[in-house]
Structure 1
Amino acid sequence: MSFNIVKNDKKRVIIVGGGFGGLKLANKLKKSGFQVVLVDKNNYHQFPPLIYQVASAGLEPSSISFPFRKIFQKRKDFYFRMAEVRAIFPEKKMIQTSIGKAEYDYLVLAAGTTSNFFGNEHIEEEAMPMKTVSEAMGLRNALLANFERSITCSTERERQELLNVVVVGGGATGVEIAGVLSEMKKFVLPNDYPDMPSSLMHIYLIEAGDRLLAGMSEDSSRHAEQFLREMGVNILLNKRVTDYKDHKVMLEDGTEIATRTFIWVSGVAAITFGNIDGELLGRGRRIKVDEFNRVQGTDTIFAIGDQCIQTTDKNYPNGHPQLAQVAIQQGELLAKNLQRLQKGKPMQPFHYRNLGSMATVGRNRAVAEFSSFKTAGWLAWVMWLVVHLRSILGVRNKANVLLNWVWNYFTYDQSLRMIVYAKKAKEVRDREELEAKTHWGEEIQTQQPKG
């Protein structure tokens, strides 16, 4: 296997990751005079802010995903390759991937993050993360299957395990999934499962810190907590999860909560590659970059978005928040800087423009803040809907999401409650097994990241 891309007289930019930052960069390099190669382990871009709605049966995966090849149809000097990066060799200007090697003139790392289990391997094995569309579908299947089993189980203890839901992590994702599950309990369960009292379902939101939405103001945190408590969510603050055994979530203070739906959204860690120097990694395993998003100690490797940490911005000395807007702005500026390098001009440093933040809690309930303007409730909820609808790729996707939202709003009914287990074709399984072994042999001398 190989990339099968002919090198021409144009400089090649390889972008690893098609998230918000990588996609913005690839789009802005249109007609730039570069040969652009986008590498991603999936063949589609996904919209993370709405993944929780896939998990709660409010949206289909295809409504928040868009194929890369569709985005870049008829684009000259652009190539997409579905692959995973195994190693980077700066001295050779080359990357090693699951489908072979590729040389670059400029390399941009924009692979984002993965769930952070803080070294607890047992929790990593047992918990259900929610970072990707496929993970959201797995959670949806598990949640609905547990509802079905709860009707036929033989003991009250087992029924409680099946109906209890524990969400660990009080950030935006945790708040949003807890809120939507509360609405499912109130509006869906009584209709779909009339022979099972919905009061038996308990939703717990556990946060190790002293408030929810730590990245927002205390006012927004207070409003979000108030909304969730009104919706019947059990909120546990200053509580740290230490383990999960025998269908029980174990807390540091000795408390145990029985559940078979254990959702983990308690932080992220940057995706790293096999041979990356541990000295280049900062907090959260993010790659250290300078003011131009250039990886420290290199001239032709850059990192943007959640995968990097930049401490040169005077307003964010500890690094920028891991938000979509940071990645988008960095991708946009890097496109300009790469073109400036082409022309022999100096690059411009990155300064983040905070455009605000928001989180939805449920129907007519949300919090939003933009500089000195803050709001909570219906207005914030409408603003959240508009901002996220505008950000979704594709007219069809926007229409699908809008129609689902309108239907759910007026009928109080999320209509996508099917348990569908996908089985990979033998050809796909065989290819994945081969790629897992290929290009990861003795020729690559890997070094485990330090720290």
Structure 2
Amino acid sequence: MDTNIPVSGKPRVVIVGCGFGGLRLAQKLADAPVQVVVVDRNNYHNFQPLLYQVATGALEADSIAYPIRKIFEGQQNFFYRMADVRGLDPQQNLISTNVGDIRYDYLVLATGSLTNFFGIKSIEENAMQIKSIPNALNVRSYIFQNLEQALLEDDAVRKQALLNIVVVGGGPTGVEISGSLAEMRNKVLPKDYPELDFQQMQIFIVEAAGALLGPMSQASQADAKEYLEALGVQVKLNTAIKHYEDDKAYYSDNDYIPTATLIWAAGVNGAVVPGLPDAAVAHNKRVNVNKWNLVEGQQNIFAIGDLAQMVTDEMPKGLPMLAPVALQQADLLAENIQRLLRQEAPKEFSYFNKGVMAIVSRNKAVVDLPKGIHYRGFLGWLTWLFIHLILLVGFRNKVVALVDWAFSYFSTNQALRLIIRPFTRKQMKDDRGKRSAEQATATASYNPTPPAIQEEAQPALG
């Protein structure tokens, strides 16, 4: 048990997930009298806001990722295990992983979110998603594979489907990837594929609500729509994709958009870990927490970031699933864990909204700041670049991203349009089926170590 993590006389804080919240919390506990254990299935921190740029060939994959062990190099109280968490046992203070059980004194769930397909099986099986670096690389490969196939296609209907791209979801991710794809179609792809007529290539963004960028101001919503339409993106509001198969994205029983590439960015659920009581899990699979980020009904289990469903008077539907929320929750939780160790009362969390932003394309971005401040265009684009550059982990990544952005700005001709690993829908279905089977098996077979064995194997607190 404990996967060879050294025994320590200090309380053990186990953090599941090394996204924005998990990473910040582990760093903030560097000088605390605790043992910090981070568990993540990837050995790198992934900067999710820039995944769409990897998908469209604007950035290298390794410029938005950084090795976890490198980040914490020199932090004496830090330990990392690469593992899939299968479940947790609050009674025994254990998490179960594919490499063994790990004990905790304090458990912090920072697992983030998963794509929500709203139960539409045909979309789950056939649509692309952008939640991870492998996802982004698959999208990139698939788009360029379809373009290569379009060169060989004689059937006009099939060729149109290969050229068309449909992005479902009008949030920041959907808006940003739609703008990036349109800019690539307008300025880059004609140079690579002079045999194709890119005036025929249609890029759609489909949103079920009446506006893009729902959480942002009406000014930002209008500006984003204006920018996208100026780039040639077809914006379809009050429209929902209900079915997708045979390269047809149906928005009614009979009406459809022909496309071989449907990118799903329409919603997310919390990446809940099996083992929590049903009462602690909200309808959107986020975990109900109080103002100390303590999971409902638990004494030593916390949740932060996208997973945490913290309801306030100002936000009755819960705090937004944004990086600043995760970072601020991590900062306060690091302080509160140390206060608990000193038997002091924890402080309540209060979210400070520093603003939200979205980029559409070069020189086109929208920014909403507190007190109703809104601006757009080149200044908004510079603000977006600066904030994302600051948040990137690692000096090398900051430099590489800056150089790539500068090159793209002046040349509009990125050289990252690579099909490194060809990708097929069958592979996508197989991967999702395998993941679902693994999760079902893990949940069904989860059997935590009995108390007697636990005490025999590890008598001292870690």
TM > 0.5: yes
C-alpha distance in structure 1 between counterparts of 2:364 and 2:26, whole Å? 36
How big is the shift at 1:276? Answer: 2.9
How big is the shift at 1:438? Answer: 9.1
Preserved contact between residue 99 and residue 438 of structure 1 (Cα < 8 Å): no
C-alpha distance in structure 2 between counterparts of 1:422 and 1:151, whole Å? 17
Preserved contact between residue 40 and residue 82 of structure 2 (Cα < 8 Å): yes
What aligned pairs does 1:298-313 form with structure 2 within 5 A after superposition?
298-311=298-311, 313=312
C-alpha distance in structure 2 between counterparts of 1:285 and 1:4, whole Å? 32
Q: Which residue of 1 aligns with 2:447?
A: 444
Pick closer, same or farther for the CA change 1:339–1:422 going to 2, 3 Å.
farther
How big is the shift at 1:14? Answer: 0.2
What aligned pairs does 1:155-166 form with structure 2 within 5 A after superposition?
155-166=155-166
Preserved contact between residue 86 and residue 446 of structure 2 (Cα < 8 Å): no
Matched residue SS, 1:31: coil
Which sections of structure 2, spanning at least 5 residues, go unmatched? 424-434, 449-462
How big is the shift at 1:272? Answer: 1.6
Letter in 2 for 1:282: A
Q: Please say if 1:346 is aligned against 2:345.
A: yes
Matched residue SS, 2:10: coil
C-alpha distance in structure 1 between counterparts of 2:246 and 2:2, whole Å? 46
Q: Which residue of 1 aligns with 2:295?
A: 295
Q: Which residue of 2 aligns with 1:325?
A: 324
C-alpha distance in structure 1 between counterparts of 2:210 and 2:305, whole Å? 27
Preserved contact between residue 142 and residue 422 of structure 2 (Cα < 8 Å): no
How big is the shift at 1:444? Answer: 2.5
Q: Which residue of 1 aligns with 2:127?
A: 127
C-alpha distance in structure 1 between counterparts of 2:283 and 2:361, whole Å? 32
How big is the shift at 1:441? Answer: 6.4
Preserved contact between residue 210 and residue 238 of structure 1 (Cα < 8 Å): yes
Q: Deviations over 1:253-275 (max 9, x none)?
A: 64200101110000100012233
Q: Please say if 1:369 is aligned against 2:368.
A: yes
Please identify, of 364-373 and 133-142, the stretch whose mean Cα deviation from structure 2 is larger.
364-373
What aligned pairs does 1:107-146 form with structure 2 within 5 A after superposition?
107-146=107-146
Preserved contact between residue 145 and residue 422 of structure 2 (Cα < 8 Å): no
Preserved contact between residue 207 and residue 238 of structure 1 (Cα < 8 Å): yes
C-alpha distance in structure 1 between counterparts of 2:295 and 2:42, whole Å? 25
Q: Which residue of 2 aligns with 1:237?
A: 237
Pick closer, same or farther for the CA change 1:227–1:253 going to 2, 3 Å.
farther
Superposition TM-score, scaled by structure 2 size: 0.91
Preserved contact between residue 2 and residue 99 of structure 1 (Cα < 8 Å): no
Q: Please say if 1:208 is aligned against 2:211.
A: no
C-alpha distance in structure 2 between counterparts of 1:262 and 1:144, whole Å? 14
What aligned pairs does 1:47-446 form with structure 2 within 5 A after superposition?
47-252=47-252, 254-311=254-311, 313-371=312-370, 372-421=372-421, 442=445, 444=447
Preserved contact between residue 98 and residue 438 of structure 1 (Cα < 8 Å): no
Pick closer, same or farther for the CA change 1:84–1:341 going to 2, 3 Å.
same
Q: Which residue of 1 aligns with 2:429?
A: none
Matched residue SS, 1:200: coil
How big is the shift at 1:2? Answer: 5.6
Preserved contact between residue 99 and residue 439 of structure 1 (Cα < 8 Å): no
C-alpha distance in structure 2 between counterparts of 1:391 and 1:37, whole Å? 23
Letter in 2 for 1:201: M
Aligned length: 437
Which sections of structure 1, spanning at least 5 residues, go unmatched? 424-431, 446-451
How big is the shift at 1:219? Answer: 0.6
Pick closer, same or farther for the CA change 1:443–1:205 going to 2, 3 Å.
closer
Q: Which residue of 1 aligns with 2:6?
A: 6
How big is the shift at 1:435? Answer: 8.6
Preserved contact between residue 25 and residue 335 of structure 1 (Cα < 8 Å): yes
Preserved contact between residue 176 and residue 359 of structure 1 (Cα < 8 Å): yes
C-alpha distance in structure 2 between counterparts of 1:125 and 1:237, whole Å? 24
C-alpha distance in structure 1 between counterparts of 2:233 and 2:147, whole Å? 18
Please identify, of 181-190 and 435-444, the stretch whose mean Cα deviation from structure 2 is larger.
435-444
Moved over 6 A (4+): 434-441
Letter in 2 for 1:333: L
Letter in 2 for 1:154: D
Q: Deviations over 1:346-381 (max 9, x none)?
A: 000101000000000001100001112210111101
Matched residue SS, 2:302: strand
C-alpha distance in structure 1 between counterparts of 2:363 and 2:322, whole Å? 24
C-alpha distance in structure 1 between counterparts of 2:447 and 2:24, whole Å? 31
Pick closer, same or farther for the CA change 1:259–1:437 going to 2, 3 Å.
closer
How big is the shift at 1:440? Answer: 6.2
Preserved contact between residue 211 and residue 237 of structure 2 (Cα < 8 Å): yes
Q: Deviations over 1:157-206 (max 9, x none)?
A: 11101000000000000000000000011111211111111101100000
C-alpha distance in structure 1 between counterparts of 2:324 and 2:293, whole Å? 15
Preserved contact between residue 52 and residue 173 of structure 1 (Cα < 8 Å): yes
C-alpha distance in structure 2 between counterparts of 1:401 and 1:138, whole Å? 20
How big is the shift at 1:436? Answer: 7.7
Preserved contact between residue 88 and residue 96 of structure 2 (Cα < 8 Å): yes
C-alpha distance in structure 2 between counterparts of 1:254 and 1:437, whole Å? 36
Preserved contact between residue 168 and residue 206 of structure 1 (Cα < 8 Å): yes
Q: Which residue of 2 aligns with 1:449?
A: none
Letter in 1 for 2:374: K
Letter in 2 for 1:332: D
Q: Which residue of 1 aligns with 2:455?
A: none
Letter in 2 for 1:346: A
Please identify, of 391-400 and 435-444, the stretch whose mean Cα deviation from structure 2 is larger.
435-444
Pick closer, same or farther for the CA change 1:422–1:36 going to 2, 3 Å.
farther
C-alpha distance in structure 1 between counterparts of 2:111 and 2:257, whole Å? 35
C-alpha distance in structure 2 between counterparts of 1:441 and 1:294, whole Å? 26
C-alpha distance in structure 2 between counterparts of 1:439 and 1:228, whole Å? 44
Letter in 2 for 1:320: L
Preserved contact between residue 96 and residue 446 of structure 2 (Cα < 8 Å): no
Please identify, of 240-249 and 271-280, the stretch whose mean Cα deviation from structure 2 is larger.
271-280
How big is the shift at 1:246? Answer: 1.0
